[in-house]
């Protein structure tokens, strides 16, 4: 369960659990969290629970709401966030709202717009902005690599391998794919009766790891692979 810890000058003044209710913060006594500081507005900010999240919203306060030193108007709270309110600090603690997502299991929850949904035409396509985008783990890093084209129609050129896949060769005749992975680059046969060659040896049908300086032959293309 999520918790708010109010402190000032290094000492803890107050703690409360966040449950299903919205929690407002401000100078006036009507707020759930009352902070008597002239720097705060009467109704300064509010914390709204939505699903697994707590969303902090500034209520157009005079002096603003800051999270970890950055002014926010709306912010999805993360475990350990510090909300700065005048001379006071409000720390958000929720071990479930940490970066690692493997705790997440698919669960059912009431939608926010079932009635709107019912009225809507089912036919697509759907607006891009309403799409939930992908978010890969922040810790994933990819190596940098490129190929220099030694022979073929693109001879003399250099191709950066900055996407997940890049294909080489001639469609219908012979094609190979170079795949960018966290631990390096790999080449795999895609189509054609002959397999691509690396350093004059056929790679067969399995993926093969590429080493710096490898020379690849596929259809009429000859490429030199290098790691940046």
Which C-beta is closer to another protein: that of 112 or that of 119? 112
| Measured distance CA(24)–CA(198) in Å, rounded | 65
What's the DSSP call for residue 81? -
Q: Token digits for 143?
A: 């190596």
Region 11-50 residues binding another protein, contact defined as CB under 8 A? 50
Q: Verify binding: residue 51, another protein, rule CB under 8 A.
A: yes
Of residues 62, 70, 112, 119, which one binds another protein by CB under 8 A? Answer: 112
| Measured distance CA(196)–CA(179) in Å, rounded | 14
Of residues 147, 166, 210, 223, which one binds another protein by CB under 8 A? Answer: 166
DSSP, residue by residue, 153-168: TTTT-EEE--SSEEEE
Q: Verify binding: residue 165, another protein, rule CB under 8 A.
A: yes
Q: How far does CA 184 lie from the centroid of its chain?
A: 22
Of the candidates 136, 130, 51, the one whose C-alpha atom is nearest the C-alpha of residue 99 is 136
Q: Nearest approach, Cβ of 93 to another protein (angstroms)?
A: 14
Q: Nearest approach, Cβ of 207 to another protein (angstroms)?
A: 9
Of the candidates 29, 3, 11, the one whose C-alpha atom is nearest the C-alpha of residue 87 is 11
Of residues 10, 122, 200, 206, which one binds another protein by CB under 8 A? Answer: 122
What is the x/- site pattern for another protein, positions 125-164, by CB under 8 A? xx--xxxxxxxxx--x----------------------xx
Which C-beta is closer to another protein: that of 97 or that of 215? 97
Of residues 1, 62, 70, 108, which one binds another protein by CB under 8 A? Answer: 108
Q: Nearest approach, Cβ of 38 to another protein (angstroms)?
A: 31
Q: Verify binding: residue 215, another protein, rule CB under 8 A.
A: no
| Measured distance CA(3)–CA(23) in Å, rounded | 12
Other Cβ atoms closer than 10 A to 143: 13
| Measured distance CA(57)–CA(45) in Å, rounded | 6
Number of residues located near another protein, criterion CB under 8 A: 52
Q: Token digits for 34?
A: 């009352």
**Where does this chain bind another protein (CB under 8 A)?**
50-53, 55, 74, 76, 78, 96-97, 101-102, 104-114, 122-126, 129-137, 140, 163-167, 171, 175, 177, 179, 181-182, 188, 190-191
């Amino acid at each position: 369960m999520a918790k708010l810890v109010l402190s000032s000058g290094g000492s803890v003044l107050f703690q409360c659990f966040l449950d299903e209710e919205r929690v407002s913060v401000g100078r006036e006594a009507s707020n759930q969290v009352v902070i008597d500081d002239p720097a705060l507005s009467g109704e300064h900010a509010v914390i709204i629970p939505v699903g697994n999240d707590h969303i902090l919203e500034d209520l157009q306060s005079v002096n603003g709401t800051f999270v970890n030193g950055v002014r926010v108007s709306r912010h999805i709270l993360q475990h350990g966030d510090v909300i700065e309110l005048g001379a006071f600090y409000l720390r958000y603690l929720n071990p479930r709202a940490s970066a690692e997502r493997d705790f997440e299991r698919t669960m059912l929850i009431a939608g926010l717009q079932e009635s709107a949904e019912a009225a809507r035409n089912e036919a697509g396509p759907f607006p891009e902005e309403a799409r939930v985008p992908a978010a890969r783990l922040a810790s994933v890093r990819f190596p940098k690599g490129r190929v220099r084209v030694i022979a073929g129609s693109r001879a003399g050129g250099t191709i950066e391998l900055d996407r997940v896949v890049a294909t080489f060769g001639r469609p219908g005749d012979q094609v190979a794919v170079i795949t960018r992975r966290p631990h390096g680059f790999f080449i795999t046969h895609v189509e054609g009766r002959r397999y691509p060659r690396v350093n004059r040896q056929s790679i067969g049908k399995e993926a093969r790891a590429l080493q710096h300086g490898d020379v690849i032959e596929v259809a009429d293309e000859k490429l030199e692979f290098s790691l940046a």
